[in-house]
Structure 1
């Protein structure tokens, strides 16, 4: 990850994920992080994929599934870019690299998550740690930002 300015950098736990911060910022049409969080963390959420945390290669498989579903849902744009939570708590535009592994940002045993938002703010794909599994959650926002 490049760190040209701290305000335009991903949150500290994402520094290990192999993301490259790129110029540009989220527009006004992007839902707040709080709204994205609520879309991922609620009793009605159903994952599109799960990986048992004890399975051999679980983190690599979780990363592979996240990339697959993020691409299919249109979260990653044609330049390989998407939004993540920034150090200043706003969305930051990043690009995946050959070394990107969102699972590196998870804190084992803490029920942590990484939420990636499409640059247009309409879709998200999250990698979460839920009890004994890693979940891949995809959500489409039907209305504008809140």
Structure 2
């Protein structure tokens, strides 16, 4: 998996998640990864869904719920593409594959997260580890033009 546009590989945990890097341009003026991160870690954030980490099949269920909410929020485009943080740059365009399991990109331990943003930068859907649960967080950037 290689980001043809920047010449750098995406973060190693993204390769584990079964994502394919797409060598297409990234839109200008996207919210920064730092801004997306702040949205997800905000103390007032309320998850749309949670899965107890100790539940049988928790990772499978977290992946299923993330995909459901990412699709419902239009984070994933018609080609199965969305943006994630890459190594050495803000956003990298990736495509879901038959092997995609976003939870594989979570680093071990509470507090890990993967933030997916729509290619137009208007919406995000994150999968996070919060204490004893996996959270699915969805956000719309209201200041982005339609």
TM range (shorter): over 0.9
Flag as ranges the 4+ runs of structure 1 deviating above 6 A. Answer: none
C-alpha deviation, 1:144, in angstroms: 3.5
The correspondence of residues 1-146 of structure 1 with structure 2, limited to 5 A, is 2-3=1-2, 5=4, 7-144=7-144
Task: For structure 1, list consecutive stretches of 5 or more residues without a partner in the other structure.
Answer: none
- 2:3–2:22: 8 Å Cα contact kept in structure 1? no
Paired with 1:105 and 1:41, the residues of 2 have a C-alpha distance of 18
Task: For structure 2, list consecutive stretches of 5 or more residues without a partner in the other structure.
Answer: none
> Residue 142 and residue 4 in structure 1: after superposition, are their counterparts in 2 closer, same or farther (change >3 A)?
closer
C-alpha deviation, 1:7, in angstroms: 3.9
Give the 3-state SS of the residue equivalent to 2:143 in structure 1. Answer: coil
Q: Flag the structure with more relative contact order, 1 or 2, with Cα contacts below 8 A and sequence separation at least 6.
A: 1
C-alpha deviation, 1:4, in angstroms: 5.5
C-alpha deviation, 1:15, in angstroms: 1.5
- 1:85–1:115: 8 Å Cα contact kept in structure 2? yes
Kindly tell me the number of residue pairs found equivalent between the two proteins.
Answer: 144
C-alpha deviation, 1:66, in angstroms: 0.3
- 1:77–1:118: 8 Å Cα contact kept in structure 2? yes
Paired with 1:127 and 1:88, the residues of 2 have a C-alpha distance of 21
Length-normalised TM-score, structure 1: 0.93
Length-normalised TM-score, structure 2: 0.93
Give the 3-state SS of the residue equivalent to 2:68 in structure 1. Answer: helix
C-alpha deviation, 1:111, in angstroms: 1.1
Question: Cα RMSD (Å) of the superposition?
Answer: 1.5
